[in-house]
Amino acid sequence: MKVGITGGIGSGKTTVCKIFETLGIPVYYADTRAKWLMAHDPVLVSGIRALLGAQAYFADGSLNRAYIAQAVFGDDEKLGKLNRLVHPAVAEDGERWHEARKGAPYTIREAALLFESGNYRAMDKMITVFAPEELRIQRVVARDQSSPEAVKARMDKQMPEEEKIRRSDYVIHNDGSQPLIRQVLAIHRELLSLSQKT
Ligand code: ATP
C-alpha cells in the first residue's frame, strides 16, 4: 500500500515522517529526491537544459538552483513546463523505490505538492499534516532564517489547507493541540490492519 503525506510549508511533514520511520515504515522524501534527480537523471537533465539553457547547471554538473528559480520566477508557462518534466520523473522513480520495498506493510511518499502535481493519484491513502499559518511561518522563519514575507509568498502559491484536508483520508494536527505521536500511532495501526486485508 502507498500512502502520501502532504501539507503546507512548515506544517511538519518531515517531523511526522520521522515518527513513521521510527515505526519501521520506509519514507520517500520526494522533494529532496527531485533535486537529486534534476542533477543525475540523464533524461531529466537534457530536458531541463533544453528548456532553461546550459546555465541551469554548473560546470561540475550540479544544479544551479538560483538560476533556475530566477528563470521560472513570474513565468508560469515555463514553471509549468519544468514541473511537467520533473513530476513524472519523480513519480516513476518513486514507483521503482516502492517496488523495491515489498517487504514493508506500506510505504510513505512525502511531498509538499502531492495534490498540485497530480501524483496523489498513485497513492492508496492520503494524509495531510495541518498547522495554522501563523505557527508555520514562525517555525519556518526559525528553521531557515528566512523572512516571514518570503515564507508567506511561498505559502500563497500552494493549495489552501482546507482543500488538502477535504481530499485526504487522514489529518494530523500539528498545532500543539494533540500529541503528534499518539495521532501517528492511531493512523499507523489503521494502515497496518488495512494492509493486511489487501
Ligand atoms: P517544508 O514544507 O518546509 O519542508 P515541513 O512540512 O517538512 O516543512 P518540518 O520541517 O517538519 O515541516 O517542520 C518545520 C519546522 O518546525 C522544523 O524546524 C521542525 O523542527 C519544527 N516543528 C515541526 N513540528 C513541531 C512541533 N510539533 N513542535 C515544535 N516544533 C515543530
> What atom of ligand 1 comes closest to residue 143's alpha carbon?
18
| Shared domain check, 7 and 84 | no
Count up the domains in the chain and report the number. Answer: 2
115 CA distance to ligand 1 centroid (A)?
A: 20
Q: Which of 107, 124, 99, 111 is nearest to 25 (CA)?
A: 107
Three-state SS string across 73-88, please?
A: CCCHHHHHHHHHHHHH
Question: For 169, which DSSP code?
Answer: S
CA of 140 to the centre of ligand 1 (A): 7
Q: What is the pTM of this model?
A: 0.91
DSSP 57: B
Q: How far apart (Å, rounded) are the C-alpha atoms in residues 122 and 131?
A: 25
Atom of ligand 1 nearest to the CA of 131: 24
Taking Cα atoms as reference points, which of 40, 39, 70 lies closest to residue 52? 70
pLDDT, position 45: 96
Domain that holds residue 132: 1-26+107-198
What are the pLDDT tens digits along the chain (198 aa)?
999 999 999 999 999 999 999 999 999 999 999 999 999 999 999 999 999 999 999 999 999 999 999 999 889 999 999 999 999 999 999 999 999 999 999 999 999 989 988 889 999 999 999 999 999 999 999 999 999 999 999 898 889 999 999 999 999 999 999 999 999 999 999 999 999 876
Cell numbers for 144: 531557515
C-alpha cell of 153?
509568498
Residues 93 and 112 in one domain: no
* Co-location of 35 and 15 in the same domain: no
Residues 58 and 111 in one domain: no
Q: Residue holding cell 497530480? A: 118
Residues 118 and 193 in one domain: yes
Q: Is the domain of 121 the same as that of 155?
A: yes
